[in-house]
Amino acid sequence: MKKPIIYRLTNYDYSLLPNEFLRARERGAQGPADWTTRTGYSPGYPAWNLLYYTLLCSLKPDEFNLLIETGTNIGSSSIVLAQALRDSGRPGLLRTVELEPDNHECARANVKAAGLDDLIELICGDSIACLPGMLDGPVQIAFLDGNHLEDHVAREFELVYPYLTADGLVIFDNTYEIADAGEDQRVHGALKQIQRRFGGNLVSFPIASWYTPGIAIWQSKSV
């Protein structure tokens, strides 16, 4: 496994973050030990704002927007996604699933403290088992950031794919090619699988997130 490059920023204008709860948590953080304590394994800044503005530019004004997230962790990215939904003034809900019960409970407290619990439905369990019950209508945006093993990521995509709106987006975190030959190719390998099997357009933002860096956004070629 290659040593990852970390692009997450530390010294920046914290007023750029879309939610006061995150601003308070992030202010003064100096490195990975601080990040994981304060905001969990969230992609951090500037990736948070990439997620935020992607949603603001993609949510439907006159339709219900169902958002799906795998890998809630302690809820930092969930807060960003739900804040975009709130600021857009558009109807919708974020459903997010987390495997670890302790993280799930921490996320519940965090999204309540952030004032966004009315827009987020938190589910505890394995994403592959839980996704079928979370998908009860068209999905506008899915953020797949749970288990990063290649086949798991590809399976999450398979489950979400039939529910995507015609212009729906799937966002992936930790897309950097971190694995050596013979190792599980993780998110990077899953993206190759997805493009081979489903086609679509993929835009990569390699200088975002951390451990491992990279965010990518997939959309159907039919758009």
pLDDT tens digits, 49-78? 999 999 999 999 999 999 999 999 999 999
Q: What is the mean pLDDT of the chain?
A: 96
DSSP string, the chain: -PPPP-----SS-GGGSS-HHHHHHHTT--SHHHHHHHHTT---TTHHHHHHHHHHTTS-SSS-EEEEEE--TTSHHHHHHHHHHHHHT--EEEEEEES-HHHHHHHHHHHHHTT-GGGEEEEES-HHHHHHHH-SS-EEEEEE-S--SHHHHHHHHHHHGGGEEEEEEEEEE--S--PPTTS--HHHHHHHHHHHHH--EEEEE-SSSSSS--EEEEE-TT-
Homologous superfamily (CATH) of 14-219 is Vaccinia Virus protein VP39 (3.40.50.150)
What band does 223 get if pLDDT is binned at 50, 70 and 90?
low
Tens-digit pLDDT profile for residues 8-47: 998 899 999 999 999 999 998 988 999 999 999 999 999 9
Looking at residues 93-106, what average pLDDT do you find? 98
Listed by start position, the domains of the chain span 14-219
Q: What percent of the chain has pLDDT over 90?
A: 94
pLDDT attached to residue 66: 98
- Between 211 and 169, the more confident residue is 169
Does residue 215 register a pLDDT over 70? yes
pLDDT attached to residue 165: 97
Looking at residues 195-219, what average pLDDT do you find? 96
